[in-house]
């Protein structure tokens, strides 16, 4: 299950994309339109900036804007930035994870198939598709 942080990050991205502006959009405006606490959005926006997905500016004309066109962002990159790996099991989420049962695991092929479907779904869906 995805947390509110991941879901709200998508809403921020959609909101910024829908403004279709090169101007910085004040966070208070996004918070009002999305009916989300500005304080909570500050945390989310900081993580999106740190992940180099959006750009932020402070001051009178400050706010946030997308760094790239909306059709260049995938839902998967936003979700994984905010939530961490979407892999269903530890052995697929971390290359360095060592599982003693990997060579004999009867369920691993199923998890790999599920992960591929999930990954392909989220990484083939663009923010622009959600506008």
What are the mean pLDDT values of the chain's consecutive 10-residue runs (131 residues total)? 96 96 95 97 98 95 96 98 95 88 93 97 98 94
- Tell me which residue of 91, 95, 87, 93 sits closest to 122, measured CA to CA: 87
Residue 56 tokens, joined: 């932020």
Query: What confidence tens digit (pLDDT) does each residue in 53-82 have?
Result: 999 999 988 999 999 999 999 999 999 999
Predicted TM-score of the model (pTM): 0.91
Q: Go through the domains of the chain in sequence order and give each one's CATH number.
A: 1-131 (1.10.10.10)
- Positive or negative, the CA dihedral 48, 53, 58, 61 is negative
């Amino acid at each position: 299950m995805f947390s509110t942080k991941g879901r709200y990050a998508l809403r921020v991205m959609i909101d910024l994309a829908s403004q279709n502006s090169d101007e910085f959009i004040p966070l208070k405006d996004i918070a009002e339109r999305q009916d989300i606490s500005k304080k909570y959005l500050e945390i989310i926006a900081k993580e999106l900036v740190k992940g180099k997905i959006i750009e932020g500016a402070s001051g009178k004309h400050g706010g946030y804007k997308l760094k790239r066109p909306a059709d260049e962002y995938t839902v998967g990159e936003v979700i994984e930035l905010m939530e961490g790996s979407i892999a269903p099991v530890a052995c697929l989420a971390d290359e360095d994870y060592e599982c003693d049962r990997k060579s004999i695991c009867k369920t691993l092929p199923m998890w790999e198939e599920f992960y591929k479907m999930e990954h392909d779904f989220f990484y083939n869906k663009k923010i622009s598709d959600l506008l």
